[in-house]
């Protein structure tokens, strides 16, 4: 696949919270991009060469090819510092980095790998039956633990450190996938967390990108490029998608 000069290329579909995190940062900073909306399970051999862990997103511009969403976002922060999504003060900056790490690891392990993957990816990508008992166990035992931690740190208003940051985007992006898996946390049980997520999701940067993911959740895989084009998303001319999925790839990035 040739990569002409111009907008950055982002490989990965916006159903992924990690892809949406990177896209939201690009939107916030005004970084133009083209999207190759593959799911990681459909990456071809060229995709494997670029992303040895076979995870999305992959970000390519005139200077770098990067494969981890946190690394990509920190690169974008360094190259396009305005508006800042990492605060300048050391303590606040460390707090944002920690909460983003928690979102990408423990929160995503529960919400994406144990719930969304089981409820959505297995049946719709691999044609396998959901393990409803496993999903229910995770919702009953693991989800309250991670939401309880977020409730203990959630801001009562605005965002984690005042202005919108990478941490807010990362948490909201992961929790959005719960709705698509038909899991709805109780607002009375985690009011601060869900209000925080709602505020973040309705920021212009993330609302637009979450809309892309929601549209794809209603669209067969074969029609997703066209659906995104209809929404005005700039797409790559060709794709790193393979014909058939490859099982066993953990969808974290």
pTM of the model: 0.94
* Residue 99: closest CA among 178, 152, 24, 20: 152
How do the pLDDT tens digits run along the chain, 253 residues long? 434 457 999 999 999 999 999 999 999 999 999 999 998 788 888 988 988 888 899 999 999 999 999 999 999 999 999 999 999 999 999 999 999 999 999 999 999 999 999 999 999 888 899 999 999 999 999 999 999 999 999 999 999 999 999 999 999 999 999 999 999 999 999 999 999 999 999 999 899 999 999 999 999 988 999 999 999 999 999 999 987 776 544 545 5
Q: List Cβ neighbours of 165 (8 Å cut-off, separation of 6 or more).
A: 85, 86, 87, 96, 159
Dihedrals phi, psi of 164, to nearest 5 degrees: -55, 135
- Domains contained in the chain, CATH given: 8-84+205-230 (3.40.30.10), 90-203 (1.20.1050.10)
Q: In a 10 Å sphere around its CB, with 0-12 CB exposed, 13-18 middle and 19+ buried, how is residue 147 labelled?
A: buried
pLDDT of 247: 55
């Amino acid at each position: 696949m040739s990569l002409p000069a111009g907008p950055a290329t982002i490989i990965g579909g916006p159903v992924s919270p990690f892809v949406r995190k990177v896209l939201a940062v690009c939107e916030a900073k005004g970084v133009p991009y083209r999207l190759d909306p593959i799911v990681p399970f459909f990456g071809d051999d060229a995709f494997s060469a670029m992303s040895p862990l076979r995870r999305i997103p992959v970000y390519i511009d005139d200077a770098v090819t990067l494969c981890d969403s946190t690394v990509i976002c920190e690169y974008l922060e360094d190259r396009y510092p305005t508006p800042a999504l990492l605060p300048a003060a050391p303590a606040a900056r460390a707090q944002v980095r920690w909460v983003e790490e928690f979102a990408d690891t423990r929160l995503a392990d529960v919400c994406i790998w144990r719930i969304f993957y089981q409820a959505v990816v297995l049946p719709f990508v691999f044609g396998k039956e959901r393990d409803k008992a496993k999903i229910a166990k995770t919702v009953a035992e693991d989800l309250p633990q991670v939401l309880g931690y977020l409730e203990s740190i959630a801001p009562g208003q605005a965002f984690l450190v005042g202005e919108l940051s990478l941490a807010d985007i990362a948490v909201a992006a992961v929790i959005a996938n719960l709705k698509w898996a038909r899991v709805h946390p109780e607002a009375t049980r985690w009011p601060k967390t869900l209000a925080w997520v709602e505020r973040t999701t309705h920021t212009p940067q993330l609302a637009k990108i979450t809309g892309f993911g929601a549209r794809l959740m209603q669209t067969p895989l074969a029609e997703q490029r066209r659906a995104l084009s209809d929404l005005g998303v700039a797409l790559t001319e060709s794709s790193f998608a393979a014909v058939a999925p490859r099982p066993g790839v953990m969808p974290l990035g």
